[in-house]
């Protein structure tokens, strides 16, 4: 396999990583029955805060932690407004997505377009020497490795552990969860906060790695919406979500490659529309049931094993309130 | 385990749901809790099982006063309740549901849980596949799972809320056997909440009867139906005559021609049916056996795969719901606030929605009409009340008021679900008045006596298969067997 | 007791305004500026003289048009986030007429506005069809179509419609005079025609929602589409009509930006006004007549902030920060208000035993 292709695949994985992390974060939140629609703004604000914190302290780690904290804060606002104050989660999330983006631009105005700390690639020993797989997956930043661990860890958590049962139950049928002693609203806070922290981490992954630095307008603007769409495409299942993010990143890369191919002339501005067309198409695939029909072509045994993977229904209690008694 | 409740009071706003109730439930006995809707029996049971707090009074277990908040605390004291709609998670498998809520480590102990589940189900004669998703189980199976789960949690007293609604005769027999075994062999305390007298007569050792929040009587069984009815209502209800009108000369209002219907879980194949004006056809079967597919196809809400739907001589196959509505088909769904009424809109706005036809709405006229309908259908509410403030019975009355006065065909999903005897009778008076004016009625019900009482013909649905029965000749027992799948033995 | 609750209610109404101003002041201090100076600048920027007020009105006109359109979609229970894109498409359609049609002003201007309505409605209809017929949530459809509208506009500006001097992505050539909306006067630069359109739109929507069957059906669809359908409401058509009306109004708003504010088509022509309209509607809910008032306050902040960058080197996103905090705190204090009000747990009341039905009521048919 030639080097250029390996490099492209490597960058597809790298570019997909913030999407992976943000979508997994939102998956955690939505599996608990809460919609955090503020993703786009949260990511931007966390990216700014993460970059500035890293710049000021000259420590990428501090930047990452600050970004996670900001993401968590915004998510907790959504949770508190929904749980304590009984407000529409979509409305609060929407206001926050606009507010957070403006806040980032306003507070970050004196930090635009200056170089700052970056998280560099750390090839993993041994693993990075595996042919093909090594150069693509294991010559990446630590954030990418964290995203691998998150995928597997979240899958195990949701489908193989007892707390994972409670996690899913509060998003599916909170009354049943309550009857079994699960503290629905407290867990909803926890999972919304955890999901938000990952959204913040995704922001840091942009400003400290994938699209290093800070600029107005923010370079990652829009990706939060795409991450939300990937959660739907992914059927709220960690593996499918990751598949969606990689697919998305891959198609984006493909569009760039096609654009660069001599003999094909597509104005570069039109290329900016590709992700959004893809977003509509993927959502159409889900809503038309085409994905499920496609997956049903798999052999029966595989289907039984992968029932959770195939499901495209949102958590049944998504966006609803629960009040005990 | 001996459970005592002493002087329990519970109020919901102006309603005194439990008014000074004192009762004793000894171990090894099955006690029936009887009463019509709103009598307060569900409230009492929810208090006993920790789902609801109470205002004053006390609960004693084995002579010791207990104070528990929440269902989990009640289970820790050995009291578990099986809700009418079992509180399980549809997205889980049987095994996951069984394990969820049990104490233990991080990892789900699949092997051990599977063994325990098999052990318990075998002992009680239940059949449950651990890997089956809950969404694919019948209500009867979900009840079995819930009972097994509560037993695994060490429950010594079991409360069952209307457990025989929506399950087959076979499943009922299995359930009753299991309950008898638990009472006699394991010396458990079993409380059966029901408004079905035949269940109480068949199973219980004693009964307690509630009326309007008060305990009006306790007695040991056996007792006759009329004795129990007298206790429940304070008087004996006159029997309702079976329907026996001759409709053979009446015109056809609905023809179904070789209809194929596909639902999420069942498929109804090759169904042909002729319905005459003034005819009442009952659709029997467990929930999800295909009867709701037929009703929805008749109302244009479900497009058949093949075949034709002809209403009043006009082929409406594939037409939208509104065309059916215009041709005089009236449909009502089982869930009132989800499918029928619009929370947030007032009574007047509902009436305006169905009566106003011009571009502009004449609100004066709409309000007048609403006042008329409120008086006529005895709805307890004002024209400006939002519908969600009405009680269930009054919502059903409003739905009747919204229904066309002279429909050609009524397709009704469980029209009396959740209503007590009096309210159901009132609803049927309204329906039969429309029948007198020439409407045909297709209705589904999980109450066998309702089906036998009001239908001319009954169609029994089992897993999408349809079996016609002459309502005049059938019995409740036979119907129960047919619903359970004994179509060929009939 | 009663006056106490009244005071509490009044406090809860004032709270969001005070709180959002306070937070904004703190943030201004955080970036090293003086909040008093900033607020004075914004106030003067909005109301200094007739010219400044004219600027505010020029934000108010498209904002009110979007807001009033969004009242329609909100009534139908729809989150028409795609309003930005609908504005852009309106601007694009109007620009096409302005750049290519050689007609006298009395004909050209109505044609431009009608085309803008068509463009906005088409883009809205796309969101609507994705939602109603194909099951794609309108928020996602809207967000994607906003971005695509932007792409289309930028492509046109940098390609087919680029100025003859070549390669610019900043704007199309300025439109010829007959294509533009004339201002009222040199000191008060506001279009009379646009003002008339706004008044007609607000009053029209208000009346339509109150007194027509269409409005009632929209409301029913918004509250519970399933029940509304069973009661005979054509819910799909209802939702699509709401999208179309909102798209037409957003289209006019977009045309106003190109035919009056900028005199040309440029990237980001919508200027976030559509999103701002969503914030306005979150504050006013379905009360159509409140929309122009709240929109005016928002427009004043927006207009007043225009000179922040030049005068104080502060990013104009401060306006968005203030507006965002205002709506956020308003939502939160709504929640607080509901918590303080006496609860009415209707759903928990067990059905009371029904009264026996009087014989005449039961039998009267």
| C8: pLDDT strictly greater than 80 | no
| CA–CA gap between residue C258 and residue C240 (Å, rounded) | 27
Chain C residues within an 8 Å CB radius of B358: 213
Q: Scan for tokens 């459809």, then name that residue.
A: C141
- Residue of B100, B136, B161, B338 to mutate for A, most A C-beta atoms under 10 A: B100
Rounded mean pLDDT, C5-14: 76
Query: Which residues, numbered 319 to 358 in chain B, qualify as contacts with chain A under a Cβ-Cβ cut-off of 8 Å?
Result: none
Residue C210 lies in a domain: yes
Domains of chain B: 3-233 (3.40.50.300), 238-328+404-490 (3.40.50.300), 343-402 (no CATH)
| % of chain A with per-residue pLDDT over 90 | 68
Q: Does A163 touch chain B (CB under 8 A)?
A: yes
- Assign A32 to helix, strand or coil: coil
Q: Which of B19, B361, B387 to mutate to test the interface with C (most CBs of C within 10 A)?
A: B361
Q: Do C144 and A279 touch (CB under 8 A)?
A: yes
Maximum alpha-carbon separation in chain B: 71
Question: Residue C279 and residue A81: Cβ atoms within 8 Å?
Answer: no
Q: What are phi and psi of A68, to 5 degrees?
A: -65, -40
The residue among C233 and A260 whose pLDDT is bigger is C233
d(Cα B281, Cα B443) in Å, to the nearest integer?
6
Confidence (pLDDT) at B244: 60
- Interface contact C345, partner B, CB < 8 A: yes
Euclidean distance between CA atoms B275 and A18, whole angstroms: 62
In a domain, residue C351? The reply is no
Separation in Å, CA of A211 to nearest CA in chain B: 38
Q: Residues of B with CB below 8 A from A175's CB?
A: 87
Q: Which is more confident, B102 or C205?
A: C205
Dist. CA B133–CA A302, nearest whole Å: 16
Is C125 among the domain residues?
yes
> Cβ of C140 and A232 within 8 Å?
yes
In chain B, which residue's Cα lies nearest the Cα of A312? B91
Interface touch B107/A162, C-beta < 8 Å:
yes
Q: What is the predicted pLDDT for the residue at B389?
A: 84
Query: Stretch A210-221: mean pLDDT, rounded?
Result: 90
- B254, B324 in Cβ contact below 8 A? no
CA distance A81 to chain B (A): 22
What pLDDT digit, counting tens, does each position of C139-184 carry? 999 999 999 999 999 999 988 888 877 655 588 889 999 999 998 8
Inter-chain CB proximity C314 and A96 less than 8 Å: no
3-state helix, strand, coil in chain A (%, to 5): 70, 0, 30
B91 vs A180, A316, A325: nearest CB: A316
What tokens appear for C344 in the block?
Answer: 């009415």
- Looking at the complex, does the CB of residue C317 fall below 8 Å from at least one CB of chain A? yes
Which of C142, A202, C231, A236 is CA-nearest to residue B404?
Answer: C231
What's the pLDDT at C330? 92
Q: What is the mean pLDDT of residues A20-38?
A: 97
> How would residue C344 be classed by pLDDT, with cut points 50, 70 and 90?
very low
Cα–Cα distance measured from residue C263 to residue C181, given in angstroms and rounded to the nearest whole number: 9
Predicted confidence at residue C13, as pLDDT, reads 78
pTM: 0.89
User: Is C148 touching A (CB cutoff 8 A)?
Assistant: yes
Question: Tell me: the pLDDT tens digits for C233-267?
Answer: 999 999 999 999 999 999 999 999 999 999 999 99
Whether residue C299 lies inside any domain: the answer is: no
CA distances from A30 to A109, A243, B321 (A): 33, 18, 34
Concatenating the DSSP letter of every residue in B388-406 gives: GGS-HHHHHHHHHHHS-SS
Question: How many CA within 13 A on the CB side of residue C356?
Answer: 4
Q: Could you list the mean pLDDT of each consecutive 10-residue stretch along chain B, which spans 490 residues?
A: 90 81 91 81 89 90 87 90 89 94 90 94 90 86 93 93 79 90 92 82 90 86 79 63 68 90 83 90 84 91 91 89 90 79 93 91 94 88 87 82 88 82 82 90 86 89 85 78 64
Q: Over pLDDT 70: what percentage of chain C?
A: 91
CB contacts under 8 A, B 284-323 vs C, are 321-322
From C227, C357, C358, residue closest to B339, measured CB to CB: C227
pLDDT in tens, C75-128: 999 999 999 999 999 999 999 999 999 999 899 999 999 999 999 999 999 999
Strands in B64-66's sheet, in edge-to-edge order, are B15-25, B3-12, B56-61, B64-66
Structural domain contains residue C250: yes
Predicted local distance difference test score (pLDDT) of residue B111:
92
* Closest by Cβ to B52, choosing from A172, A182, A325: A325
Please give the average per-residue pLDDT across A82-94, as a whole number.
92
For B111, half-sphere exposure in the C-beta direction (CA atoms, 13 angstrom radius) is 0
For chain C, what is the domain count? 1
Separation of alpha carbons C235 and C303, rounded Å: 39
The average pLDDT across A53-65 equals 96
Contacts of A161 in chain B (CB under 8 A): 106-108
Assess B99–A contact: CB distance below 8 Å, yes or no. Answer: yes
Secondary structure (DSSP) of B16-35 = EEEEEEEEEE-TT-EEEEE-
In a domain, C352, yes or no: no
Inform me whether the pLDDT recorded for A82 exceeds 80: yes
Q: What are phi and psi of B315, to 5 degrees?
A: -75, 110
Quote the pLDDT of residue C75.
95
Domain range holding C168? 61-282
Is residue C346 in some structural domain? no
- Which chain A residues are Cβ-neighbours of B50 within 8 angstroms? none
Residue C20 lies in a domain: no
Tokens of C43: 């106030």
- Residues from chain A that touch C151, judged by Cβ atoms under 8 A, are 269-270, 272-273, 276
CB contact under 8 A, C232 and B353: yes
For C75, phi then psi, to 5°, come to: -60, -35
DSSP, res B77: T
Minimal CA separation from A156 to chain B, in Å: 9
């Amino acid at each position: 396999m030639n080097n250029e292709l390996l490099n492209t695949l490597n960058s597809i994985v790298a570019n997909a990583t913030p999407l992976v992390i943000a979508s997994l974060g939102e998956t955690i939140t939505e599996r608990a029955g809460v919609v955090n629609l503020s993703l786009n703004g949260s990511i931007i604000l966390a990216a700014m805060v993460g970059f500035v914190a890293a710049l000021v302290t000259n420590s990428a780690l501090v930047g990452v932690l600050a970004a996670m904290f900001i993401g968590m804060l915004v998510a907790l606002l959504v949770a508190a407004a929904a749980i304590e104050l009984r407000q529409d989660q979509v409305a609060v999330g929407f206001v926050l997505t606009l507010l957070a983006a403006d806040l980032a631009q306003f507070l970050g105005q004196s930090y635009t377009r200056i170089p700052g700390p970056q998280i560099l690639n750390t090839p993993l020993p041994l693993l990075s020497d595996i042919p093909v797989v090594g150069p693509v997956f294991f010559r990446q930043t630590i954030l990418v490795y964290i995203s691998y661990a998150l995928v597997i860890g979240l899958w195990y958590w949701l489908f193989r552990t007892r707390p994972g049962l409670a996690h899913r139950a509060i998003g599916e049928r909170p009354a049943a969860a309550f009857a079994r002693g699960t503290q629905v609203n407290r867990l909803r806070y926890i999972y919304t906060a955890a999901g938000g922290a990952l959204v913040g981490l995704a922001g840091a992954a942009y400003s400290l790695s994938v699209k290093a630095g800070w600029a107005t307008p923010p370079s990652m603007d829009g990706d939060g919406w795409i991450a939300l769409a990937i959660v739907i495409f992914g059927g709220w299942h960690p593996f499918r979500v990751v598949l969606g993010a990689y697919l998305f990143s891959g198609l984006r890369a493909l569009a760039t490659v096609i654009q660069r191919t001599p003999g094909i002339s597509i104005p570069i501005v039109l290329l900016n529309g590709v992700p959004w067309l893809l977003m509509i198409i993927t959502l159409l695939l889900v809503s038309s049931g085409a994905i499920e029909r496609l997956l049903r072509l798999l052999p029966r045994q595989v289907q039984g094993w992968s029932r959770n993977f195939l499901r495209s229904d949102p958590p049944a209690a998504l966006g609803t309130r629960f009040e005990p008694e | 385990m001996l459970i005592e409740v002493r002087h329990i009071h519970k109020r919901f706003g102006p309603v005194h749901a439990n008014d000074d109730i004192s009762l004793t439930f000894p171990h090894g006995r099955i006690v029936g809790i009887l009463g019509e809707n709103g009598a307060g029996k569900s409230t009492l049971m929810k208090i006993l099982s920790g789902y609801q707090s109470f205002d004053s009074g006390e609960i004693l277990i084995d002579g010791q006063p207990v104070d528990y908040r929440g269902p989990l605390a009640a289970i820790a004291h050995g009291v578990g309740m099986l809700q009418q709609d079992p509180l399980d998670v549809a997205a889980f498998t049987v095994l996951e549901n069984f394990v969820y809520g049990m104490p233990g480590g991080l990892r789900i102990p699949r092997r051990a849980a599977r063994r325990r589940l098999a052990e318990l189900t075998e002992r009680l004669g239940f059949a449950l596949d651990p890997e089956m998703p809950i969404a694919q189980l019948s209500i009867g199976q979900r009840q079995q799972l819930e009972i097994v789960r509560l037993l695994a949690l060490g429950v010594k007293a079991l409360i069952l809320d209307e457990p025989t609604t929506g399950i087959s005769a076979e499943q009922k027999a299995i359930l009753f056997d299991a309950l008898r075994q638990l009472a006699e062999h394991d010396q458990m305390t079993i409380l059966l909440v029901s408004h079905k007298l035949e269940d109480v007569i068949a199973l219980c050792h004693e009964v307690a009867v509630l009326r309007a929040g008060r305990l009006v009587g306790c007695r040991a069984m056996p007792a006759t139906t009329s004795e129990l009815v007298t206790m429940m209502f304070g008087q004996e209800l006159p029997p309702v005559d079976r329907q026996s009108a001759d409709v053979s000369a009446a015109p056809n209002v609905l023809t179904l021609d070789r209809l194929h219907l596909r639902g999420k879980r069942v498929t109804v194949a090759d169904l042909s049916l002729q319905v005459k004006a003034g005819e009442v056809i009952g659709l029997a079967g467990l929930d999800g056996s295909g009867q709701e597919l037929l009703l929805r196809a008749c109302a244009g809400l479900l497009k058949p795969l093949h075949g034709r739907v002809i209403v009043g001589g006009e082929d409406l196959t594939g037409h939208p719901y509104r065309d059916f509505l215009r041709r005089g088909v009236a449909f009502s769904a089982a869930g009132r606030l989800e499918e029928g009424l619009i929370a947030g809109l007032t009574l007047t706005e509902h009436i305006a929605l169905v009566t106003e036809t011009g571009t502009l709405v004449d609100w004066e006229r709409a309000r007048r009409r609403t006042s008329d309908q409120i008086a006529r259908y005895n709805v307890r509410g004002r024209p400006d009340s939002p519908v969600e403030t009405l009680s269930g019975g009054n919502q059903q009355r409003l739905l009747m008021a919204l229904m066309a006065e002279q429909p050609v065909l009524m397709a009704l999903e469980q029209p009396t679900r959740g209503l007590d005897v009096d309210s159901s009778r009132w609803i049927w008076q309204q329906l039969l008045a429309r029948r007198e004016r020439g409407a045909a009625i297709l209705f589904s019900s999980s109450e066998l006596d309702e089906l036998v009482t009001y239908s001319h013909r009954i169609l029994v649905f089992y897993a999408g298969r349809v079996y016609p029965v002459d309502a005049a000749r059938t019995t409740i027992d036979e119907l129960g067997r047919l619903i359970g799948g004994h179509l060929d033995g009939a | 007791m009663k006056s106490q609750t009244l005071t509490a209610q009044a406090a809860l109404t004032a709270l969001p305004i005070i709180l959002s101003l306070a937070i904004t002041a703190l943030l201004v201090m955080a970036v090293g500026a003086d909040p008093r100076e900033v607020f004075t600048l914004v106030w003067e920027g909005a109301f200094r003289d007739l010219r400044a007020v004219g600027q505010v009105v020029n934000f108010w006109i498209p904002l009110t048009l979007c807001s009033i359109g969004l009242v329609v979609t909100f009534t139908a229970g729809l989150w028409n986030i795609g309003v930005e894109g609908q504005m852009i498409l309106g601007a694009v359609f109007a620009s096409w007429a302005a750049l290519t049609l050689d007609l006298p002003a009395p004909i050209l201007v109505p044609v431009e506005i009608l085309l803008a309505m068509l463009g906005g409605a088409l883009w809205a209809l796309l969101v609507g069809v994705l939602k109603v017929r194909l099951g794609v949530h309108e928020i996602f459809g809207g967000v994607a179509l906003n971005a695509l509208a932007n792409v289309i506009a930028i492509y046109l500006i940098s390609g087919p419609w680029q100025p003859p001097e070549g390669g610019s992505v900043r704007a199309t050539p300025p439109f010829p005079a007959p294509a533009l909306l004339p201002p009222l006067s040199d000191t008060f630069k506001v279009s009379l025609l646009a003002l008339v359109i706004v008044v007609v739109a607000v009053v029209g929507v208000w009346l339509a929602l109150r007194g027509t069957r269409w409005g009632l059906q929209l409301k029913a669809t918004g509250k519970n589409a399933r029940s509304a359908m069973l009661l005979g409401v054509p819910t799909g058509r209802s939702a699509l009509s709401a999208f179309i009306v909102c798209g037409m109004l957003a289209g006019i708003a977009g045309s106003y930006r190109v035919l009056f504010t900028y005199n040309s088509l440029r990237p980001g022509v919508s200027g976030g006004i559509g999103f701002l309209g969503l914030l306005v509607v979150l504050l006013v809910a379905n009360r159509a007549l409140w929309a122009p008032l709240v929109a005016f306050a928002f427009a004043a902040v927006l207009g007043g902030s225009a000179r922040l960058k030049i005068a104080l080197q502060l990013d104009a996103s401060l306006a968005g920060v203030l507006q965002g905090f205002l709506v956020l705190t308003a939502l939160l204090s709504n929640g607080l208000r509901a918590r303080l009000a006496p609860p009415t747990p209707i759903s928990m009341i067990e059905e009371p035993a029904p009264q026996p039905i009087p014989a005449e009521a039961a039998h009267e048919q």
